[in-house]
């Protein structure tokens, strides 16, 4: 047989792999014990102005020229009108709400479960990071106060500083702030990788049972990250191999080989049972 050339990955798959590598690099850095904050709006506008001309951007967003040559309203106004229409349609509201009992598709699972979980972790991380920094800074300042009190002959402050240091250390160890922060960062980056991987799949691949199973297992496996933080990553499923790595001919050959193996097993089983009975009689 002729040797087939390895099929190229789709651009979406390459993008998902690159984003996952970036997240792994961030996770292995000192940012693992801190939280990332969104940049200010002024900085975003400044960076956007460097990439896109402001005059061209305003011209493109204020009007669109259809084939007839007449101008229509801006896209933002159309989005606002669509949002008002969404609130007026009762059946659309039923479609975007989760009753907790009905069966949902994988896309609805991403909308109702994965994305709210991402928003929840993104909201908790800054507060948890602030608490972790305050505990560390307070412990450091109390240690400095103890040293200064011993140097300047204020012995009455040393027991108080030592007691407060012990209390803060006990709170930090009991609440496991550092462990929770690291594991929540891990879970957040893992969920972001999962969402990027899901959007990189084609419509056919999103219908595969193994991809849906991987989506649910990884999402639910990160839900208890604050409770059982030290168990993170031990029971997660492996990412299923996508069908994009094989051509249609290779897939057909694999299916034929599987069918041949199954039929041969069915043919061999009676022979093996008959041989076992004959040996038992002998």
Contacts (Cβ under 8 Å, ≥6 apart) of 196: 15, 16, 19, 20
For 237, which DSSP code?
Answer: P
36 sits in the region (left: phi over 0; alpha: psi -120 to 50; else beta) called beta
Give the number of other CB atoms < 10 A from CB of residue 59. Answer: 10
> Which residues, in sequence order, are bridge partners of residue 64?
72
Per-residue pLDDT of 262-282, as tens digits, reads 444 444 444 455 455 545 555
For residues 7 and 245, the answer to whether their CB atoms sit within 8 Å is yes
Beta carbons within 10 angstroms of residue 176's beta carbon: 14
Q: Considering just the CA atoms, what is the radius of gyration of the chain in Å?
A: 29
Helix, strand, coil % in the chain, rounded to nearest 5 = 75, 0, 25
Quote the Cα angle for 240-244-248, to 5°: 120
Question: How far apart, in whole angstroms, are the C-alpha atoms of residue 249 and residue 7?
Answer: 12
Instruction: Give residues with Cβ within 8 angstroms of 56, minimum separation 6.
Output: none
The pLDDT of residue 57 is 53
Rounded CA separation 233/236 (Å) = 6
One DSSP character per residue, 99-112 reads -SSS---HHHHIII
CB 177 within 8 A of CB 128: yes
Q: Which of 276, 277, 171, 182 is nearest to 226 (CA)?
A: 182
d(CA 244, CA 206): 12
271: Cα within 13 Å, side-chain hemisphere: 5
Find the helix packing angle between 11-27 and 177-200, rounded to 10°.
Answer: 170
**Domain extents in the chain:** 11-29+106-232
Q: At what angle do helices 177-200 and 115-151 cross, to 10 degrees?
A: 150
pLDDT value of position 282? 52
Instruction: Write out the DSSP string of 13-76.
Output: HHHHHHHHHHHHHHHTSGGGGS---PPPHHHHHHHHHHHS-HHHHHHHHH-B--TTS--B--HH
Per-residue tokens: 130? 């602030």
pLDDT value of residue 124: 87
What pLDDT sits at residue 138?
92
Q: Which pLDDT tens digit goes with each residue over 245-254? A: 443 444 444 4
Query: Could you list the mean pLDDT of each consecutive 10-residue stretch along the chain, which spans 282 residues?
Result: 57 79 73 66 80 59 47 43 42 55 84 88 87 91 90 86 90 85 84 89 89 90 67 54 47 45 44 53 52
């Amino acid at each position: 047989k002729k040797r087939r050339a390895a099929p190229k990955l789709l651009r979406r798959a390459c993008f998902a792999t690159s984003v996952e590598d970036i997240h792994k690099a961030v996770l292995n850095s000192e940012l693992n014990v801190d939280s990332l904050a969104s940049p200010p709006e002024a900085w975003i506008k400044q960076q956007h102005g460097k990439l896109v001309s402001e005059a061209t951007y305003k011209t493109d967003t204020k009007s669109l020229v259809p084939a007839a040559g007449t101008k229509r309203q801006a896209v933002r106004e159309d989005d606002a009108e669509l949002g008002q229409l969404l609130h007026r349609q009762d059946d659309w509201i039923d479609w975007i709400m989760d009753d907790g009992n009905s069966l949902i598709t994988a896309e609805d699972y991403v909308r109702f479960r994965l994305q709210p979980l991402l928003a929840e972790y993104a909201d908790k991380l800054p507060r948890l990071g602030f608490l972790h920094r305050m505990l560390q800074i307070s412990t450091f300042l109390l240690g400095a106060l103890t040293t200064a009190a011993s140097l300047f002959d204020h012995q009455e402050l040393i027991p108080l500083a030592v007691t407060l240091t012990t209390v803060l250390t006990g709170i930090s160890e009991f609440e496991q702030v550092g462990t929770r922060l690291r594991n929540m960062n891990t879970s957040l980056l893992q969920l972001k990788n999962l969402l990027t991987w899901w959007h990189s799949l084609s419509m056919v691949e999103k219908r595969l049972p193994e991809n849906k199973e991987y989506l649910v297992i990884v999402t639910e496996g990160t839900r208890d990250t604050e409770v059982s933080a030290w168990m993170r990553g031990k029971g997660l499923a492996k990412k299923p191999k996508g069908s994009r790595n094989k051509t249609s001919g290779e897939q057909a050959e694999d299916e034929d080989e599987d069918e041949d193996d199954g039929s041969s097993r069915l043919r061999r089983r009676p022979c093996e049972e008959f041989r076992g009975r004959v040996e038992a009689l002998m």
